[in-house]
A and B are shown apart, each in its own frame.
Chain A
Amino acid sequence: MRKMKGIAFAIAEAIDQEMAERQDIVVLGEDVTYWGAVFGFTIGLHQKYGRDRVVDTPITEQTFFGMTVGAAAVGMHPVVSLMFVDFLGAGFDQMYNHMAKNHYMSGGQFAMPVTVLTAIGGGYGDAEQHSQVLYGLFAHVPGFKVVVPATAYDAKGLTISALRDQNPVVIFGHKLLTGLPFLPFEGQEEDVPEERYTVEFGKAAVRREGSDLTMVAAGLMVHRCLRAAERLAQDGIAAEVIDVRTLVPLDADTLVASARKTGRVLIVDEDYRSYGMTGELAFRIQEGAFDALKTPIRRLAVPDVPIPFSEPLERAVIPSVDRIYEEARALVTAPARTA
């Protein structure tokens, strides 16, 4: 056990430890050697495994994602980097029409063991085409497992689970949780075991227990919810914070149980508001906890505009600790519905 800062090195370590024992893993993508896929997820691998197993590709998302489909079909387990999730448009056909469907379309003949690494999120001034989250798009299409690690411990364990999965798994690593020196860091240094371990998909984590309201989030927003919860505690409000960890598969039971306990739910998301994670989670929660809800479910998300560049504009759209705190207070003080 040692302290680790951020998810980037945790993900790289997970890949390293699996690669050391398995010949089927190969790493592909733009800048995966010297730059560790830019956000560190593959850092150090090429020094150890060489350019034959850690392969810088031309800037051709459609083609290198297509190659992972072809390589997985003959028994490889490619790890492929989509540098920024915003670039999915350049390669999405091979992902959603092939990688996500070939197992189903082939009647179960072809497994599609691919691990996709991608960097998400804003908050550092990268604007409309380099700040999105977009995991809702992947979660919407059947066939992807959607993994959003919020901690270094989870990042390592979830990555090892992905590398042992027979299905396409997309790991969405938030840039402000990477722990890299050129970006703000909003996570926490934490203990991460040196040995290999897995974190199971489809198990949400209760990051903080409380009885007055439930806050549900993923990735960076888990940390912002935790900070808001500390301030709420000073006001005498006990907030429960749940990290969904994986959008697909989704652990609805943990969400429903918490909603039944607190009766008030705030869902916080850095993805766009409409037709996304907040709506889906709200639906699942009301399905199982409708009678126990004291108020309508609330949500905070990017209000259906692109992520703007200028700092006050960017701050206005990405949920902040302040806004989460205020929304939570408003939720707790809203009158409970009467039967």
Chain B
Amino acid sequence: MWKPEPSLADLQYLVEKAGLTRDALLSAYRQMSLIRHFEETIADRYYIGKTPEFNMAAGPIRGEMHLAVGQEAVAVGVCSLLESQDVVVSTHRPHHHALAKGVDASKLAAEIFGKQTGLCRGKGGHMHLFDKEKNFSCSGIVGASFPQAAGAAFAFRQRGQRNVAVAFAGEGAANHGTFAETLNAAVLWQLPLVIVVEDNMYADSTPKWAALAQPHQFQRALGYNVPSYLVDGMDVIDVYRAARTAIQRARDGQGPALIEAICYRYRGHFEGDAEEYRTKEEVELWRALDPIPRLGNRLKKLGWADDATLEALRAEAKRAVEAAVAFAEQSPLPDPAEALTGVFR
């Protein structure tokens, strides 16, 4: 949902109203750059052994790979407002949420490589990331995040704990029964739950016009009396503004909210996706809204950064990613005997 680009005066007004500082925006820029570089580096390593013939089982990273290049602003805009005890439940496309929630990039990369040093000691892999310390989890099953985040929110409410739970999901997942069921339950029990629908236009290969009876999730949520926000998911400031209100009211015991973030993934649904369902021109069109240069331009407009500052932040992010991936690559694979442990505690 593209919104008019604000003038300098309006931008200053919006940023101030949102409580955003120079440091916060520079940090968002760095974080988004880190996610972007992380995803692109994973893609680079993923194709090792998978060219010229694409074989999912070959190379250092096995299995499916769903990357979130283009969707960084949603993750950062929301998660930068969360406390460590707040819960995030993510999806099959989880890296940007994990990094934004503070999951260690090295342990994350190591898990993606199936290494002993990974978050889950190589048992989960890219779609099944868990970090108890950061209160982060995800699921490879579409629609699973809604009720699980609601369960954490239920526990917070039960214990009188001022924490919130966030469920991320795609617009495809919003067709799942759990979406409607969870909205109903969350309102019924006034749960501190924020549902973030990342509408990236496609459920796997299915364009949203072919799967959604009406295009907007906020309309469905309003039917349950859930306060809802339609935001430009390619604009971290717009995401942040809505998330701030949603998270604050959930934390204050005023119940759930929904954020519908219109965004776009620049890469396929999964790596190896031939993308027959869209044109290159469409992808290029969305490049104009790339959330990272957009934030960079605004930082410059505000006089809060110049090209050198931005370049330094990107370089810093790159170094962090290189270190994380090197750690993953150099880490040992798990002992096969580990496969037989840990079913029960």
Query: In residues 107-155 of chain A, which contact B (Cβ within 8 Å)?
Result: 107-111, 142-143, 145
Q: Number of A-B pairs whose CB atoms are under 8 Å?
A: 144
Chain A residues in 8 Å Cβ range of B29: none
A207–B12 CA distance with the chains assembled, in angstroms = 79
Q: Which of B120, B137, B181, B185 is close to A73, meaning CB atoms less than 8 Å apart? A: B137
Q: Are A106 and B155 in contact (CB under 8 A)?
A: no
Write out, one digit per residue, whether chain A residues 94-115 have a CB within 8 A of any chain B CB (1) or not (0): 1001100011111111110000
Sorting the interface of chain A by its residue count into under 10, 10 to 19, 20 to 34 or 35 or more gives 35 or more
Q: A58 and B188 in contact (CB under 8 A), knowing A76-B158, A98-B144, A107-B124? A: yes
Stretch from B146-154, B291-299, B312-320 contacting the other chain: B146-154
> Is the C-beta of B135 less than 8 angstroms from some C-beta in chain A?
yes
Chain A residues in 8 Å Cβ range of B185: 57-58, 60, 63-64, 67
Q: Are B165 and A62 in contact (CB under 8 A)?
A: no
> Is the C-beta of B209 less than 8 angstroms from some C-beta in chain A?
no
A1–B178 CA distance with the chains assembled, in angstroms = 45
> Which interface residue of A75, A97, A108, A110 has the most chain B CB atoms within 10 A?
A108
Q: Are B344 and A107 in contact (CB under 8 A)?
A: no
Give the total of B residues in contact with A, Cβ under 8 Å. Answer: 46
Q: Are B345 and A105 in contact (CB under 8 A)?
A: no
Query: In residues 198-215 of chain B, which contact A (Cβ within 8 Å)?
Result: none
Q: Are B144 and A107 in contact (CB under 8 A)?
A: no
Q: A62 and B181 in contact (CB under 8 A), knowing A26-B158, A68-B151? A: yes
> Is the C-beta of A328 less than 8 angstroms from some C-beta in chain B?
no
A34 CB, min distance to chain B CBs, angstroms: 18
Q: Are B165 and A70 in contact (CB under 8 A)?
A: yes
Q: A70 and B152 in contact (CB under 8 A), knowing A76-B158, A107-B120, A110-B132? A: yes
Chain B residues in 8 Å Cβ range of A145: 344
Residue of B nearest to A76 (CB): B155
Q: Are A143 and B344 in contact (CB under 8 A)?
A: yes
Chain A residues in 8 Å Cβ range of B87: 70, 73-74
Q: Are A71 and B178 in contact (CB under 8 A)?
A: no
Chain B residues in 8 Å Cβ range of A63: 146-147, 150, 177-178, 181-182, 185
Q: Are B148 and A62 in contact (CB under 8 A)?
A: no
Q: Are A67 and B147 in contact (CB under 8 A)?
A: yes
A116 CB, min distance to chain B CBs, angstroms: 14
Q: List 7 A-B contacts (CB under 8 A).
A: A58-B184, A64-B147, A97-B139, A104-B343, A105-B128, A106-B120, A143-B343
